[in-house]
């Protein structure tokens, strides 16, 4: 069996790993990302419109207001 694996190692599913990595993010990490994007949207002077549009899209992908995590809600 080991010889067979050396000859034909299993191929990594890169797209699958990326999806799994996001699925395994801790709620605190997602909440921190949401907080950063919301701060970007509220930064009037130092943020470009393109950056704000990107943050709006990321917020939607992360779950919007529902993506905030509170340790009280475990």
Write out the residue range of the structural domain in which residue 46 sits.
27-74
58 domain-assigned: yes
Split into its structural domains, the chain has a count of 1
For residue 6, tell me if it sits in a domain. Answer: no
Q: Is residue 8 part of a domain?
A: no
Provide block-wise average pLDDT over 10 residues at a time, the chain (74 residues): 57 52 72 90 92 93 74 56
- CA nearest neighbour of 25 among 65, 69, 66: 69
In a domain, 60, yes or no: yes
14 lies in a domain? no
Q: Quote the pLDDT of residue 8.
A: 61
pLDDT value at residue 27: 77
In this prediction, residue 13 carries a pLDDT of: 53
62 Cβ neighbours under 8 A, 6+ residues apart:
30, 33, 34, 37
């Amino acid at each position: 069996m080991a010889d067979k694996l050396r000859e034909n190692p299993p191929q990594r599913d890169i797209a699958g790993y990326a999806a799994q990595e996001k699925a395994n993010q801790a709620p605190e990490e997602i909440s921190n990302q949401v907080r950063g994007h919301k701060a970007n949207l509220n930064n009037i002077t130092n943020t470009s419109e393109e950056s704000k549009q990107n943050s709006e899209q990321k917020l939607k992908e992360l779950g919007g207001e529902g993506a905030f995590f509170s340790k009280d809600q475990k």
